[in-house]
Amino acid sequence: MSEPHYPVVASTPIYHGRILSVRKDDVRMSDGVVAVREVVEHPGAVAVVALHDDGQVVLVHQYRHPVGMFLYELPAGLLDVPGEAPLEAARRELFEETGLVAADWSVLLDIFTSPGMTDELIRIYLARGISESVDRFQPEAEEITMTVVRLPLADALGRVQSGRITNAAAVAGICAAALARDAEWRPLRPADVSWPGDPGRASP
């Protein structure tokens, strides 16, 4: 049985910012009624579960202005460099935020963060074979006060369950990594697997 089609009969830009844009879509529902949906357009992002050989996962502790607090997060960033593939963005973000590089990369999972209001899609990678980079990156803005934390994966999972880790990508990535480890890392998708989404969604 085919899924219902929800055609957009009109679309109106509302706001265009440095990172985010907002539009208003008039969408025809399955019963024929046209409903208004406001959509936050997002360029997409990547995050990295960097796991050391001793089982420690790398987290960053960073201030987030919209919620007004420091959060434990995975190394992560926007897909905002033209022509940069998601995997290369993940490598860049891991280096810039932690000074680390990884020899082994896999796709852990893909998540739509809040599909009721935004098209934001985050690809979360598993990075292993971790080592320190000989280069260093100069932090700026919120990254100036960001700190890097290493925790045993079991401890990070405990912080998720106790509510001490609440960032969506970190919660999903830590839980997925724990499940993948228990399954002896089977199955993991190749790091260069195609970007998910419907046929009309362009890959970053």
Amino acid type, 122:
I
Catalytic residue status for 143: yes
Catalytic residue among 41, 84, 96, 143: 143
Residue type, 148: V
Q: What is the DSSP letter of 164?
A: S
Instruction: Give whole-number Cα distances, 61 to 50, 74, 197, in Å.
Output: 15, 9, 30
Q: Tell me, what amino acid is at 40?
A: V
How far is C-alpha 168 from the geometric centre of its chain's CA atoms? Answer: 8
Q: Could you tell me the sign of the dihedral formed by the alpha carbons of 78, 58, 73, 113, in that order?
A: positive
Encoded tokens for 120: 């934001």
Q: How far apart are CA 203 and CA 108, in angstroms?
A: 18
Q: What ranges in the chain are assigned the alpha helix state H?
A: 86-98, 153-162, 168-182
Amino acid in the structure at residue 193? V
Residue type at 138 in one-letter notation: Q
Round to whole Å and give the CA distance between 3 and 12: 26
Catalytic sites, residue numbers: 143
